[in-house]
Amino acid sequence: MLDDAAVERALVVTAHPDDVDFGAAGTVAGWVDAGVEVTYCVVTDGDAGGFDPTVARADIPGIRRAEQEAAAAVVGVHDVRFLGYPDGRLVVSIDLRRDISRVIRQVRPQRLLCQSSERNYRRIYASHPDHLAAGEATLCAVYPDARNPFAHTELLADEGLDPWSVHETWLMVGAGSAHHVDVTDTFDRKLEAILSHASQMTDPAGLETRMRSWLSDNAAAGGLPEGRLAEAFQVVDTA
């Protein structure tokens, strides 16, 4: 049994391999540096991703899992869990809510980071339908499912997983982002993590310029000094 008071833990839930790296790897690197134990839960294997027609589609899930594990290691995360749902067909099902609740009860995090369930019309590419579904299912797992002993009763009765309440939930790239984390000092690791997803990179040479532009805009929106880089979140009290 984990000693809940001994260490701070964070759980990151995303739809696809690479989502966390684009949205939050700089922040995660900072958490790890501060001694937080971070676990990744990736809902799909990203099997609908990639761009090279010479790569067999059956090989994509294994490739993308390996890329995510490599990217996680760059920022100091070594616990990466995959739920194996089909890429591009994610819905907010009871099964998905249960499976995310299971991971919450296993990890028992004080902090959880996930994708927003709200469509962002200013940055539409962040609002992939799988992102929205993963975000909504995760929020349902945070409240009420994971904390309710009478929800998904098999988790307690058959697996011995006690209910758990997440203290705070961070939403990536939400329309109401108001919390900006300075990631200037962890940017190099964030960039390396993103580049670990080689199967998804059509223009790796231009990635740094694009990322610096996006993160500079975040920093300006958050009132940080010129030259700083930031990731943006909406933080919700879910204790």
For residues 102 and 107, what is the distance between their CA atoms, to the nearest angstrom?
9
Domain-located, residue 72 = yes
* Inside any domain, residue 130: yes
Per-residue pLDDT of the chain (239 residues; tens, 9 = 90+): 445 557 899 999 999 999 999 999 999 999 999 999 999 999 999 999 988 899 999 999 999 999 999 999 999 999 999 999 999 999 999 999 999 999 999 999 999 999 999 998 888 888 999 999 999 999 999 999 999 999 999 999 999 999 999 999 999 976 567 899 999 999 999 999 999 999 999 999 999 999 999 999 999 999 999 999 999 999 999 99
> What is the model's pLDDT at position 175?
57
Residue 3 falls inside a structural domain: no
Q: Indicate whether 4 belongs to any domain.
A: no
Inter-residue contact 116 to 174 (CB < 8 Å)? yes
What pLDDT does 1 receive?
42
Q: Which domain holds residue 56?
A: 9-237
42: number of Cβ within 10 Å: 27
CA gap 142, 129 in Å, rounded: 20
- Structural domain contains residue 57: yes
Please indicate, yes or no, if residue 183 is contained in any of the structural domains.
yes
Residue 114: CATH number of its domain: 3.40.50.10320
In 113-157, alpha helices (H): 129-140, 154-157
Domains in the chain, number: 1
Which pLDDT value is given to residue 18? 97
Q: Is the peptide bond before 144 cis (omega within 30 degrees of 0)?
A: yes
d(CA 78, CA 152): 28
Judging by DSSP bridges, how do beta strands 111-115 and 79-85 pair with one another? unpaired
Side-chain-facing half-sphere of 227: CA atoms under 13 Å: 1
pLDDT at 207: 96
Q: Which two tokens stand for residue 92?
A: 């907010």
